[in-house]
Structure 1
Amino acid sequence: MKTKVLGIVWCATLWAVLSACSADKKEQQVIPIYQQWHTVSLSFIGNATNEQAQVNPFTDTRLLVRFTHQDKSYVVRGFYAADGDAANTSADSGSVWQVRFNPDEVGEWQYQAYLHQGKKIAISRSLDEGTLVKLKENSGRFKVVESDKKGRDFRAKGKLIAKGRYLGFSKDDKPWLKVGTNSPENFLAYVDFDDTYRGELEHQHEDAPQADTLHAYAPHAKDWQQGDITWGNAKGKNIIGATNYLASMGMNSVYFLTMNIGGDGKDVWPYTGYEERERFDVSKLEQWNLLFEHMQQQGLALHIVTQETENETMLDGGDLGFHRQLYYQELIARFGHHLALIWDLGEENGPVDFSPIGQTPEQRRAMARYFVKNDPYAHPVYLHTHASEHHRQETLPEVISETAITGLSFQVDQPVNVHQAILSWRKKAQEKGNNIQISMDEIGIWQEGLKPDADDPEHNILRQQVLWGSLMAGASGTEWYFGYNFPHNDLSAEDWRSRHNMWQQTSIAEQLLSQFQLNNFQPQDQLTVRKDDYVLAEEGKTYLVYLPSATGVNELQLSLGAYTVQWFNPRQGGALANGTTAQITTSQNNFGLPSEDPELDWLAVISLLK
């Protein structure tokens, strides 16, 4: 009898302990734990609907979620997510609404979700407008701890922000030079994305011939790695492999259009159809986002170009009307959480002879200010320019005084014009009180751009005049455009290995220049007697002199002191090497020659002797 009582007591005690442990475990599970700079994706259950519902879930229903941490608060727009897994199921109906948030602080966060209905409420940010729709579990909290990521993964670096004339990350004091690809501009015209096809095939631009099929990126199938993301029935491997290859070459950005209706490719749009403007393709956009998530982990920034010159007045005649706001809100809601993202207002923006109907200065300002006001993450805002100086003179004077525009995505017609064009427009912007960034993102002539390695193996002119010519002028980066007259062109490119040699040379330049605190440097070409070299200097400390050929009179005006001279090979990279002269001074300022191949291009690194 005693034994039985003891057994009952022991069992009761064990039950109490297990219950307490279970309660503790449940309490721990109540507060999810995320990492800083990692995506927090929350789902909410509302009324069942679909992409074609009479009450349009994209225009007449709107989810806003307030995230609060201590004295910091963000209101983030959500989006209709169909069944919550549309990337894999291709669903166009369901009752799930989602929001994506990227927490920038460690500690506890709280959130409160509000789903409203009302006519065209989607573009309103007022919580007092519309009819409140009941959501299940519309509030909660979570804890954020420090990120454990390292290397190229942007979650190790924080958010990409403007830092003077350069971009940089919130957790890193070094400059970040944007280097990557500008082609294919219709990168998202990919066969494995739902409902992707070409429209208006009978209206092809003679200077921009379309490919016969959508992108498949078959040459990059071998670059997909086990464990990489896919969707549906193992779809997406080739485009994921393509981004793996680009990252492996040291590139860190991809330029692409999210809408080219009426433009060159006519094969990329976020809507449910080519003629649609008020309903979005949920599964396609979710598949885009899976690709973008992978790119961020690979260290590839999203240079999102929202329109091109042929369609810049398609939405609301170019004004910031309902359809333009709806489009921007959807982009911000679905993709704004990504850490390294640049909003580009439009390719070749503004009227020109071949596209005479273009946006006005007032419309450009309105677009830029809209992103600044509505993007909770304050991503950089760029504007892509026309190629000729004549056209830039027509469109840029008003742009460079608009502080809502972070940078110019420069297009230049001839390589020989790159260096001076960047110097000239940086000076004009500074005279208006705006230290605007300029990135060299599309090089002409338009038919050629960056030729394949098979046609121009060494890329000497583009390396010298465009890559180093832009970066030595203080450019914030360089992206490569492929032209139209060669294989793997700006619309048909399937294999990024076609420009393998230039990716190598671009990475060499980026790695060397990123070692310096570039915001302390200024272009100072006048410090040398030569007219064909480029000088970027932190006067009195470090002088970088790029010479297209090292032979010649290599003299440099110096501040007082003694300086060491070393040489860097921009063709092959590697360590700094000694040349014919080890040291120079203010009075003995000929810095000599590299120890080999002086007839080729070299970078002299001249540093104050400590």
Structure 2
Amino acid sequence: MTQNKFNRITFLILLILLGKVSNALADTEVEISGELRKWHGVSLTFDGPDVSENDEYNPFVNYRLNVEFTHKPSGSQYLVPGYFAADGDAGNTSASSGNKWRVNFSADQEGQWTWHATFRKGAFVAVSNQPNSGVSAGFMDNQKGAFEIKPSNKSYPDFRARGRLEYINQPYLRFAQTGEYFIKAGPDAPENLLSYADFDGTFHDDGHKDNLVKTWQPHLKDWKKGDPTWKQGKGKALIGALNYLSQKGMNSISFLTLNIGGDDQNVFPYIDYDTYDRMDISKLEQWNVIFTHAQQQGLFLHFKTSEVENQGLLDNGGLGLHRQLYYRELIARFGHHLALNWNMGEENGEWVANHKTMPQSTIQRLAMAKYFYNNDPYHHHVVIHNGNDYDDLTGPDSYYTGASVQTGRKDFANVHGAVKRLREWPLTNGRPFAVSVDEPGDAQDSLLPDSVNAKHDNARMNGLWGALTAGAWGTEWYFGYAHPHSDLTAQDWRSRDLFWEQAKHALDFFKMADVPYHKAKNLDNLSNGHWVLGEEGQFYIVFVKHAKKSISLNFYLGMADYSVQWYNPRTGGKLQTGSIDKVYVTKPRAGYKKYERHELGTPPSDDNQDWVILVKRN
């Protein structure tokens, strides 16, 4: 033993005896970044083994970083997966190698949080469900630390002012900080939103539909000074597109994260089209810039993890190495965001002839949701899109919390019935599905460009208000493929500018109404042919397509009076007064009927168009 090595060990032993160091031989460099505030993203970046995306010893499969975060005052804990981060700044440097390993976390309580890292090494350890699998990889393994979390200082629409959006065994999702419920509206198209020229990766010129790669150039003018970019100015146009949606009052975006073999074939997290166990670190860091900005602009993230063509691409639809690794990386890199859902598959299941890859079975459909329940520390909302129906996913072994609905009529006329049917399901797992309509309309047309249909009457009446009055917690809008700015070619959301205004009017109404709509259910049976959402005896939201027709409502008897106000879903604005401003309901008498029918009057203007009537108990 050399004298220097002897002196170093002696010095460390002396420090330990004096209580000056803890795990002195194991600790490694750690950087804590981000704002140390409630609901804000906080990252711990460690110095670990220096590896590469392409190393023969696969760093994504054969290392596993987990960090357990504990809130000292309450004892609340989160076990959060970490990931290989190359040089720690790969979004800007395009690095594919380095010694940085990172975990992203968002704290839901103020005060002191402690953390405890485990770092394991071994064959397939990243997808093992055994906490002690593999061996210690050294570096940050068993390292501990702490930090203090302060209150959030952000404001609406930033989700950090509202907290994590949670499924709480109700048909509507709720923000943990403010307690407000959420109704979403925004585009479902283009599904290949992330097929973007400014992202790193091989998809630009790999021969797989390279012509569909987008520039988002029409939205470059919407980028603002101070907004994020990467690599000295890249990303401005897509960041600008998010700004545009937020300014229009929309609060949701939707995108595929894997479409190998699908309609576009340019979106995947991997280093290339044919490799499913190695991640493109710089591209994923750039994705995260987009997701982070979207959250700050109040845009919900609808992660669609696969589509019908590639549902069997990974492990033939099973939960093997490739699928588990894919899900782990999504959770580790993006799960800290506050308002999102994981969609297990668009048009999922065995339902068409000649599937491109093996269609997923009931067991596999259930296994995907269970994986997210067991591994997403925040238990984000988990949904699946219909191809097959959902009736095999409602038993006691199901961890789905919602349904993502697609319909198939050009006039959107089956939207209301589709939502109503799902909301009425008696679920044996004790949890009601939170139902959203994420592709209303048919494949060819759906939501037409303003240049083709500026009024959007059917979309507004049957699609938007049809969904909301049936009890949907939101809508997203598919663009079809038969017109310009289609589901695959769209890169200008202004092509539907006039419809976003109508969707905003709907969101405004639910805020203005100031009723507990999360308690509501469909009450069409109380009207004379109109759509009704409400809580019986408390409030009723009545949608009328043609206001010249007689409008009446059955009220449950009980001495009460109700205000009657009208809202124009075409132009928005304030609640208005029609020909009747109050309804008086009498006290029931023994042996008499339980309901009493009352006329609601006529709207403020005699236009024979669609109106919303808010009937509210005083």
* TM-score > 0.5 by shorter chain: yes
Contact 2:32–2:44 under 8 Å retained in 1: no
Q: In the alignment, which of 603, 607, 610 is matched to residue 616 of structure 2?
A: 607
AA matched with 1:62: R
AA matched with 2:408: D
Alignment length, in residue pairs? 565
Residue in structure 2 matched with residue 116 of structure 1 by the alignment: 120
Give the Cα separation in 2 of the matches to 1:33 and 1:339: 15
Q: In the alignment, which of 494, 498, 501 is matched to residue 498 of structure 2?
A: 501
Residue in structure 2 matched with residue 197 of structure 1 by the alignment: 203
Residue in structure 1 matched with residue 601 of structure 2 by the alignment: 592
Q: In the alignment, which of 185, 188, 193 is matched to residue 182 of structure 1?
A: 188
1:473 matched to 2:467: no
Aligned pairs for 1:409-488 (under 5 A) are: 409-414=404-409, 415-430=412-427, 433-488=430-485
Q: CA deviation at 1:178?
A: 1.7
Assess, with a 3 A threshold, how the Cα gap between structure 1 residues 527 and 200 changes in structure 2: closer, same or farther: farther
Assess, with a 3 A threshold, how the Cα gap between structure 1 residues 139 and 192 changes in structure 2: closer, same or farther: same
Deviations 1:194-232 (A, max 9, x none): 015268857xxxxxxx68241110000010010000001
Residue in structure 2 matched with residue 397 of structure 1 by the alignment: 391
Contact 1:106–1:144 under 8 Å retained in 2: yes
Deviations 1:253-273 (A, max 9, x none): 111100000011000000000
Q: CA deviation at 1:449?
A: 1.2
- Which consecutive aligned stretches of 4+ in structure 1 deviate over 6 angstroms post-superposition? 29-33
Give the Cα separation in 2 of the matches to 1:200 and 1:263: 15
Deviations 1:424-466 (A, max 9, x none): 1222244774411110110221011100000010100110001
Give the Cα separation in 1 of the matches to 2:500 and 2:328: 34
AA matched with 1:399: L
Contact 2:44–2:104 under 8 Å retained in 1: yes
Residue in structure 2 matched with residue 340 of structure 1 by the alignment: 339
AA matched with 2:441: G
Give the Cα separation in 2 of the matches to 1:517 and 1:333: 35
AA matched with 2:613: A
Give the Cα separation in 2 of the matches to 1:31 and 1:498: 39
1:329 matched to 2:334: no
Aligned pairs for 1:22-171 (under 5 A) are: 34-70=36-72, 71-135=75-139, 138-163=143-168, 164-171=170-177
Contact 2:32–2:43 under 8 Å retained in 1: no
Assess, with a 3 A threshold, how the Cα gap between structure 1 residues 550 and 430 changes in structure 2: closer, same or farther: farther
SS of equivalent to 2:497: helix
Q: Which moved more, 1:349-358 or 1:415-424?
A: 349-358
Residue in structure 2 matched with residue 11 of structure 1 by the alignment: none
Q: In the alignment, which of 502, 509, 512 is matched to residue 509 of structure 2?
A: 512
Assess, with a 3 A threshold, how the Cα gap between structure 1 residues 355 and 508 changes in structure 2: closer, same or farther: farther
SS of equivalent to 1:421: helix
Contact 2:401–2:431 under 8 Å retained in 1: no
Give the Cα separation in 1 of the matches to 2:398 and 2:152: 32
Contact 2:35–2:41 under 8 Å retained in 1: no
Give the Cα separation in 1 of the matches to 2:418 and 2:200: 42
Give the Cα separation in 1 of the matches to 2:216 and 2:316: 35
Give me the identity figure in percent: 43
User: Normalising by the residue count of structure 1, what TM-score does the alignment of the two structures yield?
Assistant: 0.90
Assess, with a 3 A threshold, how the Cα gap between structure 1 residues 197 and 84 changes in structure 2: closer, same or farther: same
Deviations 1:181-201 (A, max 9, x none): 100001100000001526885
Give the Cα separation in 1 of the matches to 2:146 and 2:572: 50
Give the Cα separation in 2 of the matches to 1:428 and 1:31: 46
> What root-mean-square deviation, in Å, do the aligned CA atoms of Structure 1 and Structure 2 show?
1.9
User: Normalising by the residue count of structure 2, what TM-score does the alignment of the two structures yield?
Assistant: 0.88
SS of equivalent to 1:110: strand
SS of equivalent to 1:472: helix
Q: In the alignment, which of 550, 553, 557 is matched to residue 553 of structure 1?
A: 550
Give the Cα separation in 2 of the matches to 1:112 and 1:441: 40
Give the Cα separation in 2 of the matches to 1:355 and 1:171: 47
Give the Cα separation in 1 of the matches to 2:609 and 2:215: 39
AA matched with 1:155: R
Q: CA deviation at 1:318?
A: 0.6
Give the Cα separation in 1 of the matches to 2:311 and 2:544: 41
Q: CA deviation at 1:301?
A: 1.1
AA matched with 1:171: Q
Give the Cα separation in 1 of the matches to 2:413 and 2:609: 18
SS of equivalent to 1:589: strand
Q: CA deviation at 1:383?
A: 0.4
Q: CA deviation at 1:91?
A: 0.3
SS of equivalent to 1:34: coil
Q: CA deviation at 1:248?
A: 0.8
Contact 2:344–2:369 under 8 Å retained in 1: yes
Give the Cα separation in 2 of the matches to 1:148 and 1:84: 27
Give the Cα separation in 2 of the matches to 1:65 and 1:211: 39
Give the Cα separation in 2 of the matches to 1:505 and 1:578: 21
Give the Cα separation in 1 of the matches to 2:326 and 2:282: 16
AA matched with 1:170: A
Give the Cα separation in 2 of the matches to 1:424 and 1:274: 40
Q: CA deviation at 1:600?
A: 0.6
Give the Cα separation in 1 of the matches to 2:35 and 2:239: 28
Residue in structure 1 matched with residue 238 of structure 2 by the alignment: 239
Give the Cα separation in 1 of the matches to 2:103 and 2:597: 64
Residue in structure 1 matched with residue 533 of structure 2 by the alignment: 536
Residue in structure 1 matched with residue 380 of structure 2 by the alignment: 379
Give the Cα separation in 1 of the matches to 2:306 and 2:34: 39
Give the Cα separation in 2 of the matches to 1:237 and 1:318: 36
Unpaired stretches in structure 1, ≥5 consecutive residues: 1-28, 203-209, 387-391
Assess, with a 3 A threshold, how the Cα gap between structure 1 residues 565 and 136 changes in structure 2: closer, same or farther: closer
Give the Cα separation in 2 of the matches to 1:99 and 1:432: 33
SS of equivalent to 2:414: helix
Q: CA deviation at 1:134?
A: 2.3
Assess, with a 3 A threshold, how the Cα gap between structure 1 residues 128 and 91 changes in structure 2: closer, same or farther: same
Q: CA deviation at 1:589?
A: 1.2
Give the Cα separation in 2 of the matches to 1:88 and 1:143: 29
1:319 matched to 2:339: no
Residue in structure 2 matched with residue 365 of structure 1 by the alignment: 366
Contact 1:33–1:143 under 8 Å retained in 2: no
Give the Cα separation in 2 of the matches to 1:52 and 1:31: 27
Q: CA deviation at 1:110?
A: 1.2
Q: CA deviation at 1:60?
A: 0.7
Deviations 1:291-310 (A, max 9, x none): 11111111111100110001
Q: CA deviation at 1:585?
A: 2.8
Q: CA deviation at 1:537?
A: 1.6
Assess, with a 3 A threshold, how the Cα gap between structure 1 residues 184 and 196 changes in structure 2: closer, same or farther: farther
SS of equivalent to 1:562: strand
Contact 1:31–1:142 under 8 Å retained in 2: no
Assess, with a 3 A threshold, how the Cα gap between structure 1 residues 75 and 479 changes in structure 2: closer, same or farther: same
Residue in structure 2 matched with residue 22 of structure 1 by the alignment: none
Q: CA deviation at 1:516?
A: 2.5
Q: Which moved more, 1:49-58 or 1:121-130?
A: 121-130
Assess, with a 3 A threshold, how the Cα gap between structure 1 residues 136 and 397 changes in structure 2: closer, same or farther: closer
Give the Cα separation in 2 of the matches to 1:477 and 1:404: 21
